[in-house]
Structure 1
Amino acid sequence: MTITSGLPATQHILLDVQGMKCGGCVRSVERHLRTYPGVLAVTVNLATRQAQVLGDVTQVIPEKLAQFLTQKGFPSRPHRLWDTPTLSLNQASWQLILAVGLLLVSGLAHLPGGHHHWPWLHHPLTEWLLATVTLLLPGRGMLISGWQSWRTGAPTMYTLVGLGVTVAYIASTIAWLWPQLGWERFFQEVVMVVALMLVGQTLELRARQRAGRALQSLVALQPPTARLLSPQGVWEQVPLTQVRVGQVVRVEAGETLPVDGVIREGLTLVDAAMLTGESLPVTQKPGDQVYSGTVNLTDAVMVEVTATGGATRLGQIIHLVLTAQTRKAPVQGIADRVAGWFTYGVMGIAGVTLLFWGLVAPWFWPDLGHPWLVAVHRLTAVLVVACPCALGLATPMAILVGLTRGAQRGLLIRGGDILEQVAPVDWLVFDKTGTLTQGHPQVAQVQLLAPHPVVDNSQELWQLAAQLEWGSTHPLAVGIRQSAPLTQRTWQINGIHLEPGVGVTAQVDGYPVTLGRWPMDNPLPIALEPGQTVVAFQVGGKPVGVLHLQDQVRPEAAAVVQELQAQGIQVRVLSGDRPEVVQHLAQTLGLRSDQVQGGLFPADKVAWVTQWQNQGQRVAVVGDGSNDAPALVAAHVGMAMAQGTQVALESAGIVLIHNNLRDVVAALTLSRRTLAKIYQNLAWAFLYNVIAIPLAAGVFLPWGWALTPTLAAGLMAGSSLGVILNSLTLRPPAPSP
């Protein structure tokens, strides 16, 4: 289908971006990407070191975009889903070894008796060589990144630290070349600062990769190879990239399915626990759908491929998690803006500190020694100790851990903004069929109310209804199709149309028919059992027959409703089913009659949700069908059961993979815990800078105590690491029994 609107065709591009350390880096990357021709929207995540770009397919080439960003000082490449991130970790390990070596060499000179055992370490030339090598090798990337950020008008943490160690290096060099000035040398502090920076970066990288293990475990579910039949008639292992849709692969017992497909030969048990949460293996026979990442337990099967790689259900889940990690929570946007201006503020404070100790302080403390040496020392400490990265990581790191904890728990949350919006929810609205009930209704009775040329008996009525519902995924439609009897009669069916909330309309043998809800203005001429749902078959607007369907309430539904109400959350049920059926459900769940509404169309559900929102309530909707989609979109947060329709899944902010209502409570718990971690991280980052910067500036120096640049570097590395480690302590919700 070709769309002839004026909007350009777009693509989503995910870039892995190196060199980001703080909110200023995030703003700089976003600004650079927005200037690229054809880029329509950009979101950058500091915790995952990734940028998601929405761009015009005719103008934006992923490799060219990555090259452009690399030229701006942020080495980048298009993200490849099944890549293993070993390069960064190996590079970081090498940096860690080098940093530890530098720390040991520099530390030897400070040991008791170091002057006697290693006098060469105190020679000015040795100190200068060690500092020079440190800046040119392990510190080179930091200096280049800091300079490029400064040159493009977006200073970052690397700019601050690079400026600090450069000033210290120059001052120490001057003290060495002109000893008559009487200045002290602090080459060793230059080495210590760079080394501690490298240690902090390595520990931070390892902690971030630990946070992403849940996603890597999902990626590892898909085997890299599949077994195809060769032209010689031999089954051979080939790379998964060579497998195409329509081919047939062989999966032996004990192997993991590499593709999505349909079984053509064989009968087996499949363990889908890692993908669906189903605790027991499921029997799969020819014609059944199977999914990549599930395990074939008992016998070999032949599977016709329907999807590979990123197009599989597993690939879509991984893509959803990756996309979610790049979406920002509202509080993160505020933190990024503050962190972006933070570096300018620190540079201003450093400048004031330099002038104060160089020009003003000697008037108050004449015995200060060399004022400008003290001023350089204080300036270096201020530039090094300031930590915009702790502020920049506070929110995205907690969100990253929260999203991965959710993925482990079977909660696919589309972004940090969704995760943040769940916590304040105080009204939860449930759909009935397929949400509070199991979604597997069965036909209990078929009644023909009046003979008609279209149908002569109840058997024909059931079979015609099954044909009208062919292709629909609604639970009632599936229930009608199941066990439908075979008849000798055939019909000419034209113009089938599905109207959400109403049913199916069509032309059958020239008659206009409708299969769906019973007309609310007509009394039911038959008696129904409690909880039964009726589907009416009408010809020309007149009821001709009815089908009675019975669906069982989910076993956990009553306990979940009671737990939500115990937390102070108002629970409501909005359903398109008959009011008396919904009232019976209310009695089963322990709800009052005024907490449920039946006989609603999709627009009616939206009206109720909007009314509660206008009253100041934070409303979440849980549903599974196409008729729930408008309400899912209208609510502050929409949650969809994974067994629901594609429209519902695309409309929801959270997908409940395990189709268990306890995961609604789990989503609330996870959101609250994640927000608590965000506030803890922000408080830590704020208090750290409020206390550390004045200490580095020398507020206690007149009393003989000051924060050295070396200690400042250690504190700075520890501040961002503290944010990461605190985020990793986020506990996932307890698993469903």
Structure 2
Amino acid sequence: MKPIKNQTKEESILLDVTGMKCGGCVQTVEKTLLNHKEVNNAFVNLVDRTALIDINDKSTDLKEILTSLEKRGFQAKVRQNAKTNNSFDINASQEWWKQWRQLMVSLCLLLLSVLGHLAEAKTIAIPLLGNLIFHASLATFALFGPGLKILKSGWNAVAHFSPNMDSLVGIGVSSAYLTSLSALIWPQMGWPCFFNEPVMLLGFVLLGRFLEERARLRTGKALKELAKLQPQNARLINKNNQIKDVRVGALQPGERIQLLAGDRVPVDGVVIEGNSTVDVSNLTGESLPLETSPGTELSSGSLNLEGTLIVEVQRVGAETALARIIGLVEKAQARKAPIQNLADKVAGKFCYGVVTLSFFTFIFWWRIGAIIWPQVLNTSGQGLMHMHGHMHNASLGTNAQTPLGLAVQLSIAVLVVACPCALGLATPTVITVASGKAAKRGWLFKGGDVIEKAALIKQIVFDKTGTLTVGRPEVIGYLGTEDPDELIQIAASLEENSRHPIAFAILQTAQSKGINLLTSSKVNTIPGKGISGYLDNIDGAIMVGTIEWLKSEGVNYNLDIEKLLEESNFNEKSIVAVSINKKLKGLIIIDDQIRNDVKDALTVLRKKGFFLRILSGDRRESVQRLGTKLGFKSTQIGWQLLPEDKLNYLEELKRSGPVAMVGDGINDAPALAASNLGIAIGTGTQIAQDSADLVLMGDRLESLPDALSLSKATMQKIKQNLVWAFGYNIIALPIAAGILLPSTGIVLSPPIAALLMACSSITVIINALSLKNT
């Protein structure tokens, strides 16, 4: 990834890019995109063939950007919405036939080459296959037929000073072909013909790309399965209460649909009739079905298990929860992990290095090597067949008669053995598999960089309300008031403007009591403290919040609050104070329950070596009581903390290593953004989810240890892939350059090199796919 030009990010746009073959292509696309002043940042994914760009101005005309990519040989278009099940099927069908045609051509080329070798060795009696002119014709067809696309792509990249994998293959096969053609036309040169080499090389390259593409498509299988959760049709209830099957895309918000038992929910909506249980495991990872009744919100992709439901459509198409998840995963897969930077930098310069090595190989064996080790020149003469004065179809690097011939052959071998593909695939294949697997289990990593950060985390800080507790607190009592209903009416009338779990508890109590709310105005929310404003029919400013905040604002307390709390045994509960015109109206006592899975989750995290802490804005007694139940020491707990206090605390902790913050509320958003890894609970507020790097859908905290374990396993796979990708080239290139030729006579022929090159890429992808089993 290149340095960010501007930290201000207005909008992210996902592009589908075709024509990328290796890490060198990735670097070229990134450079081309970053050359535009409107583009702040660019992330290119070789596996998904996508580019995610951050632009300053939403109104930027993207035509110029797309045109610049097209000039470099990469066709690109803007992806308007997340891919649907239908678009995945269409793309899969197109890719399937394209790959099969490629496979058939490659197998035919390889078959003819093998038969040619057998005919030369008199193993089979087919005169045509042993004819040098036939092999020259076959090589010509291979280069200007199935190989033409590779040649064009390679030379186009060279023309733009950004050589790629096709450039190396193109230069290699062209050199082999032209050398053989020269030997055919001028036999007095004494060079061998090796027309079989470019044929077999192209055959293995095409075969390798077929296998690589098939394996690559499997890496996106999880995302395709998510897309398949979106049904194509829905049962629309029209104005005459008649049911009609319609396309999901034709539905509009406000319309009603019928869901039968076994139906997938096609849109986001709210149940208006019926009761049932709904399986939401594919979206949230929650194994227990959701009990639904009128008023329950349903997300697209959920599965209705039992009864018939009537649902009012709220969001359709790209606005649905399923589409947003798919879109988020697509963009996350495009954002690369920092560990990929080294591989991309190497891949970007790799082709230049290979061409340089090929040049020095040529010079060395022409002027030095063959003189020092004369035995490398045609010492055995085995396997040579003479026809019209030619050495018929030798292998590159063997049976050379002159230093110049040997130099040409080995320099070509260096070109075709190189493999920047594996370098380019090493990280994105693993990121694609990991993010897809995580999404299926309800964990949304917002990029490969997030997965890498998650793998480094050692300290985790938890918010209390809505994170360690269920986030659905209840009003359990009142103090200092003779009219609890009036106290609830005042508090709820202001709190309806808040999304805090405590506000929800107060509103729920008002609703259960049938209390009518008053109209509010000039409402102001102070995160971590409370809410203030004015209500109709009540003179003076209203304040609802913590006791400490009301005290600091000059509220007159005419009660001994601490004594009251102790006598009523409410000392360890959450307390909401209500005042009118700086005079205390009363106290509302609220309690919350610990999540059922919290203790197990914390136990697993501690066993894995994480250092855990609680930071909360609640009262000391309430936080300490919860901490004691969950096994926290007093030094691991913070209470009555404002958002800025949490920020200061996090900055202090970050000095001793990366810190993750887990929260769900609006007041947690700053801390989530400031931590090394912000983790939001999916049942929390939208702003918390937007500020977080990792979102745990549903309300299961026990998935946190598994998500962090997945990130560590992902990084291990990436490191393994990078070791393999670098190691293959470090070993193969010197052998191709002839390092073993003087001592052992071993040289890596181009067809075998092409096969190994394909195996290198496929090995990287298969290793990434093995992540599914962890």
Instruction: Sort the TM-score into its range (normalised by shorter chain).
Output: over 0.9
User: Which residue of structure 2 aligns with residue 428 of structure 1?
Assistant: 460
Residue type matched to 1:219 in 2?
A
Residue type matched to 2:99 in 1?
A
Which of 533, 539, 544 aligns to 2:580? It is 539
Offset at 1:234?
4.6
User: Which residue of structure 1 aligns with residue 530 of structure 2?
Assistant: 503
Residue type matched to 1:607 in 2?
N
Offset at 1:220?
0.8
CA-to-aligned-CA distance 1:513-557 (integer Å, 9 cap, x gap): 111112276853323347521111122344321111221111222
Which of 433, 454, 459 aligns to 2:485? It is 459
Residue type matched to 2:23 in 1?
G
Offset at 1:325?
0.6
Q: Secondary structure at the match of 1:223?
A: coil
Q: Secondary structure at the match of 1:198?
A: helix
Offset at 1:115?
4.9
Q: Secondary structure at the match of 2:547?
A: coil
User: Which residue of structure 1 aligns with residue 619 of structure 2?
Assistant: 578
Q: Secondary structure at the match of 1:110?
A: helix
Residue type matched to 2:59 in 1?
T
Stretch deviating more after TM superposition (398-407 or 627-636) = 398-407
CA-to-aligned-CA distance 1:271-330 (integer Å, 9 cap, x gap): 222122333333333333221111223343332221111110111111110110111211
| 1:696-707 equivalent positions in 2, closer than 5 A | 696-703=736-743, 704-707=745-748
| 1:235-250 equivalent positions in 2, closer than 5 A | 235-250=243-258
Counterpart-to-counterpart distance in 2, 1:372 and 1:478: 84
**Cα distance, 1:114–1:503 mapped onto 2, change above 3 Å:** farther
The root-mean-square deviation of aligned C-alpha atoms, in Å, is 2.4
CA-to-aligned-CA distance 1:188-219 (integer Å, 9 cap, x gap): 11111111111111111111211111111111
**Cα distance, 1:9–1:410 mapped onto 2, change above 3 Å:** closer
Counterpart-to-counterpart distance in 1, 2:519 and 2:444: 43
Q: Is the 8 A contact 1:446 1:462 kept in 2?
A: no
Q: Aligned pair 1:481/2:507, yes or no? A: yes
User: Which residue of structure 2 aligns with residue 730 of structure 1?
Assistant: 771
Q: Aligned pair 1:526/2:537, yes or no? A: no
Q: Aligned pair 1:45/2:52, yes or no? A: no
Q: Aligned pair 1:344/2:355, yes or no? A: no
User: Which residue of structure 2 aligns with residue 272 of structure 1?
Assistant: 280
User: Which residue of structure 1 aligns with residue 546 of structure 2?
Assistant: 517
Q: Secondary structure at the match of 1:264?
A: strand
Q: Aligned pair 1:363/2:390, yes or no? A: no
**Cα distance, 1:487–1:719 mapped onto 2, change above 3 Å:** closer
Counterpart-to-counterpart distance in 2, 1:692 and 1:9: 43
- Identity, in percent, stands at 41
Residue type matched to 1:526 in 2?
L
Offset at 1:7?
12
Q: Is the 8 A contact 2:285 2:441 kept in 1?
A: no
Which of 638, 642, 645 aligns to 1:604? It is 645
**Cα distance, 1:249–1:560 mapped onto 2, change above 3 Å:** closer
Offset at 1:511?
1.7
Counterpart-to-counterpart distance in 2, 1:340 and 1:201: 20
Offset at 1:146?
0.7
Q: Secondary structure at the match of 2:433?
A: helix
Stretch deviating more after TM superposition (458-467 or 674-683) = 458-467
Q: Is the 8 A contact 2:238 2:256 kept in 1?
A: no
Counterpart-to-counterpart distance in 1, 2:292 and 2:718: 45
Residue type matched to 2:69 in 1?
L
CA-to-aligned-CA distance 1:652-707 (integer Å, 9 cap, x gap): 00001132222221122111111111111111112111111000001122232211
User: Which residue of structure 1 aligns with residue 60 of structure 2?
Assistant: 59
Offset at 1:162?
0.8
Q: Aligned pair 1:128/2:129, yes or no? A: no
Residue type matched to 1:675 in 2?
M
Counterpart-to-counterpart distance in 2, 1:531 and 1:265: 41
Counterpart-to-counterpart distance in 2, 1:9 and 1:694: 45
Which of 379, 401, 407 aligns to 1:375? It is 407
Counterpart-to-counterpart distance in 2, 1:492 and 1:698: 86
Which of 664, 674, 679 aligns to 2:714? It is 674
Counterpart-to-counterpart distance in 2, 1:296 and 1:408: 18
Stretch deviating more after TM superposition (34-43 or 83-92) = 34-43
Q: Aligned pair 1:228/2:228, yes or no? A: no
Offset at 1:29?
0.9
Q: Is the 8 A contact 1:441 1:476 kept in 2?
A: yes
Q: Secondary structure at the match of 2:771?
A: coil
Stretch deviating more after TM superposition (662-671 or 321-330) = 662-671
User: Which residue of structure 1 aligns with residue 111 of structure 2?
Assistant: 104
Q: Is the 8 A contact 2:601 2:703 kept in 1?
A: no
Counterpart-to-counterpart distance in 1, 2:207 and 2:664: 49
Residue type matched to 1:666 in 2?
D
| Contiguous gaps of at least 5 residues in structure 2 | 1-5, 378-400, 552-559
Residue type matched to 2:700 in 1?
N
Q: Secondary structure at the match of 1:184?
A: coil
User: Which residue of structure 2 aligns with residue 207 of structure 1?
Assistant: 215
Q: What TM-score results when the alignment is normalised by the length of structure 2?
A: 0.89
Residue type matched to 1:434 in 2?
G
Q: Secondary structure at the match of 2:585?
A: strand
Counterpart-to-counterpart distance in 2, 1:488 and 1:24: 67
Q: Is the 8 A contact 1:406 1:412 kept in 2?
A: yes
User: Which residue of structure 2 aligns with residue 453 of structure 1?
Assistant: none
User: Which residue of structure 2 aligns with residue 444 of structure 1?
Assistant: 476
Counterpart-to-counterpart distance in 1, 2:363 and 2:7: 56
Stretch deviating more after TM superposition (552-561 or 721-730) = 552-561
Q: Is the 8 A contact 1:121 1:127 kept in 2?
A: yes
Residue type matched to 1:403 in 2?
S
CA-to-aligned-CA distance 1:163-200 (integer Å, 9 cap, x gap): 00110010111111222222211111111111111111
Q: Is the 8 A contact 2:680 2:692 kept in 1?
A: yes
Q: Aligned pair 1:553/2:627, yes or no? A: no
Q: Is the 8 A contact 2:282 2:440 kept in 1?
A: no
User: Which residue of structure 2 aligns with residue 3 of structure 1?
Assistant: none
Stretch deviating more after TM superposition (631-640 or 124-133) = 124-133
Counterpart-to-counterpart distance in 1, 2:506 and 2:332: 37
Counterpart-to-counterpart distance in 2, 1:386 and 1:219: 37
Offset at 1:489?
7.2
**Cα distance, 1:201–1:52 mapped onto 2, change above 3 Å:** same
Q: Is the 8 A contact 2:457 2:658 kept in 1?
A: yes
Q: Is the 8 A contact 1:51 1:326 kept in 2?
A: yes
User: Which residue of structure 2 aligns with residue 72 of structure 1?
Assistant: 72
Q: Is the 8 A contact 1:377 1:709 kept in 2?
A: no
Counterpart-to-counterpart distance in 2, 1:232 and 1:534: 52
Residue type matched to 1:669 in 2?
S
Q: Aligned pair 1:390/2:417, yes or no? A: no
Offset at 1:370?
2.2
Counterpart-to-counterpart distance in 1, 2:722 and 2:516: 71
